[in-house]
C-alpha cells in the first residue's frame, strides 16, 4: 500500500509537470513564430513604404506580386500574403482570387495595435501584420501574413511525446527505487511479520 501511494503521488506530480511544460512550450513557440512573422512582414513592407513616401497608392506598385511571392517562398507554412489599404481593402495578394477585405478579426487586431506590428494565434494558425506609414503620419495600409499552424502543432506534439517518454522512465525508475528503499527500510518489520506468520 505504501508503494502504491508513493507511485500514485509520483504519477500525479509527473502528469502536472508534463502538462505545465507542454503549455509553456506551446506559449514560447507561438511567441517565436509570431515574432518571426513580424520580422518577415517588416522586411516585405519596405518597397511598399517607399512607394507611399513618393505619393503613390499601394495599388500602383507594379512588382508587388513578385515581392510578395518571394516573401511567401521563405516558409512553406505561409498560406498567403496580402497588401491592404487604409480601409482594409486588399490591393495585392499571393492568392487568386484575392479576398476583397482582410478579415474582421484582423481589422480588430490592427486597431488594437494602433499602428504597431502585431500577430495573433488563430484556430488554423497565425496572422501577423505590419502597417505602412502614410505621408501624413497615419496609416496607408499594411501587409498581412496568413500562416498555417501545422508545423507548430507538430512541434508541440513532438515535445509532449518526449516529455511523456521521460515521465514514464522517471516513474519506472521511481517505482523500482521505491521498492528497494521500502524493502530496506521496512526489513525489520517484514521479518517480524514473517515470524508471526511462521508461528501461526
C-alpha distances in angstroms, 143 versus 59, 97, 110, 122?
13, 17, 11, 17
Q: Are strands 78-85 and 90-93 parallel, antiparallel or unpaired?
A: antiparallel
Q: Can you read off the three cell numbers belonging to residue 48? A: 511598399
Grid coordinates representing 170? 522517471
| Cα gap 128→198, rounded to integer Å | 76
Residue in the structure block whose three cell numbers are 519506472: 172
Question: How do the residues of the chain divide into helix, strand and coil, expressed in percent and rounded to 5?
Answer: 60, 20, 20
> Pairing relation of β-strands 118-121 and 78-85?
unpaired
Model pTM score: 0.70
pLDDT tens sequence for the chain (200 residues): 666 777 787 788 888 888 888 888 888 888 888 888 889 988 888 888 888 888 888 888 888 888 888 888 888 888 889 999 888 899 988 888 888 888 888 888 888 888 889 988 887 788 899 998 888 878 888 999 998 876 667 777 787 888 888 888 887 887 777 777 766 766 666 677 667 777 77
DSSP 134-157: -TTSSEEEEEEEEEE-HHHHHHHH
Residue 144 near residue 127 (C-beta atoms within 8 A):
yes
pLDDT of 160 reads 81
- pLDDT at site 150: 65
> Phi/psi at 128 (nearest 5 deg)?
-145, 150
Amino acid at each position: 500500500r505504501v508503494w502504491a501511494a508513493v507511485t500514485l503521488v509520483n504519477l500525479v506530480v509527473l502528469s502536472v509537470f508534463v502538462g505545465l511544460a507542454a503549455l509553456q512550450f506551446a506559449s514560447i513557440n507561438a511567441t517565436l513564430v509570431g515574432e518571426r512573422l513580424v520580422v518577415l512582414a517588416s522586411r516585405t513592407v519596405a518597397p511598399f513604404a517607399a512607394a507611399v513616401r513618393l505619393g503613390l497608392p499601394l495599388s500602383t506598385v507594379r512588382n508587388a506580386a513578385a515581392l510578395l511571392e518571394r516573401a511567401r517562398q521563405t516558409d512553406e507554412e505561409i498560406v498567403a500574403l496580402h497588401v491592404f489599404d487604409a480601409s482594409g481593402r486588399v490591393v495585392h495578394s499571393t492568392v487568386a482570387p484575392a479576398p476583397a477585405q482582410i478579415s474582421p478579426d484582423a481589422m480588430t487586431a490592427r486597431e488594437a495595435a494602433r499602428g504597431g506590428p502585431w500577430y495573433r494565434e488563430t484556430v488554423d494558425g497565425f496572422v501577423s501584420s505590419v502597417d505602412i506609414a502614410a505621408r501624413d503620419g497615419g496609416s496607408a495600409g499594411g501587409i498581412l501574413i496568413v500562416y498555417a499552424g501545422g508545423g507548430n502543432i507538430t512541434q508541440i506534439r513532438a515535445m509532449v511525446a518526449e516529455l511523456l517518454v521521460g515521465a514514464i522512465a522517471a516513474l519506472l525508475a521511481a517505482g523500482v527505487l521505491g521498492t528497494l528503499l521500502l524493502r530496506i527500510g521496512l526489513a525489520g518489520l517484514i521479518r517480524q511479520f514473517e515470524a508471526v506468520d511462521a508461528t501461526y
